[in-house]
Amino acid sequence: MKLNYFLVSLFLIFLYNCENKVKKDNSSPSTPPIKPNVIVILADDLGYKDVGFNGSEDIKTPNIDQLANNGTIFTNGYVSYAVCGPSRAGLITGRYQDRFGFGRNPLFAPKDSLQGLPTSEETLADAVGKAGYQSMAIGKWHLGAHKSQRPLKRGFNEFFGFLTGGHKYFPEQWTKQDISEVTSQGDAYNTKLLRNNDRVEENEYLTDALSREAVNFVERNAENPFFLYLAYNAPHTPLQATEKYLSRYTDIKDKKRKTYAAMVSAVDDGVGSLLNKLRELDIENNTIVFFLSDNGGPEQHGANNGKLREGKGSLHEGGIRVPFAVQWPGTIPARQLYNQPVISLDIFATAVALAGVSPKHQIDGTNLIPYLQGLDKSRPHEHLFWRHYDAEAYTIRQGDMKLVKNKKGEVGLYNLANDISETTPINNDSLRHDLKTKHDIWDSENMDPIFLGLRHNNIYNKQHPDRFTDVEKY
Reference 161, options 181, 189, 133; nearest CA is 189
Write out the E strands in 247-347.
Answer: 287-293, 324-327, 336-338, 342-343
* Spatial distance between the Cα atoms of 266 and 355, rounded to a whole number of angstroms: 31
* 389 backbone dihedrals φ, ψ, rounded to 5°: -55, -50
* Spatial distance between the Cα atoms of 301 and 255, rounded to a whole number of angstroms: 11
For 407, the 3-state DSSP assignment is coil
Residue among 18, 142, 381, 433 flagged as catalytic: 142
Examine the residue annotation and report whether 388 is marked as an active-site residue of this protein: no
* Spatial distance between the Cα atoms of 103 and 348, rounded to a whole number of angstroms: 19
| Residue 283 DSSP class | -
Residues near 220 by Cβ (< 8 Å), separated by ≥ 6?
none
Reference 359, options 93, 104, 63, 23; nearest CA is 93
* Spatial distance between the Cα atoms of 47 and 394, rounded to a whole number of angstroms: 21
Q: Which amino acid is at 57?
A: E
CB-based contact 22:323 (threshold 8 Å)? no
* Spatial distance between the Cα atoms of 89 and 103, rounded to a whole number of angstroms: 9
* 398 backbone dihedrals φ, ψ, rounded to 5°: -130, 110
- Alpha carbon distance, N-terminus to C-terminus of the chain: 80
CB-based contact 177:190 (threshold 8 Å)? no
| Residue 308 DSSP class | S
CB-based contact 336:72 (threshold 8 Å)? yes
Parallel/antiparallel/unpaired status of strands 134-140 and 342-343: unpaired
CB-based contact 285:297 (threshold 8 Å)? no
Query: CA 471: distance to chain centroid?
Result: 30
* Spatial distance between the Cα atoms of 464 and 280, rounded to a whole number of angstroms: 51
Examine the residue annotation and report whether 18 is marked as an active-site residue of this protein: no
Residue among 84, 167, 236, 388 flagged as catalytic: 84
Q: Which residues are tagged catalytic?
A: 84, 142
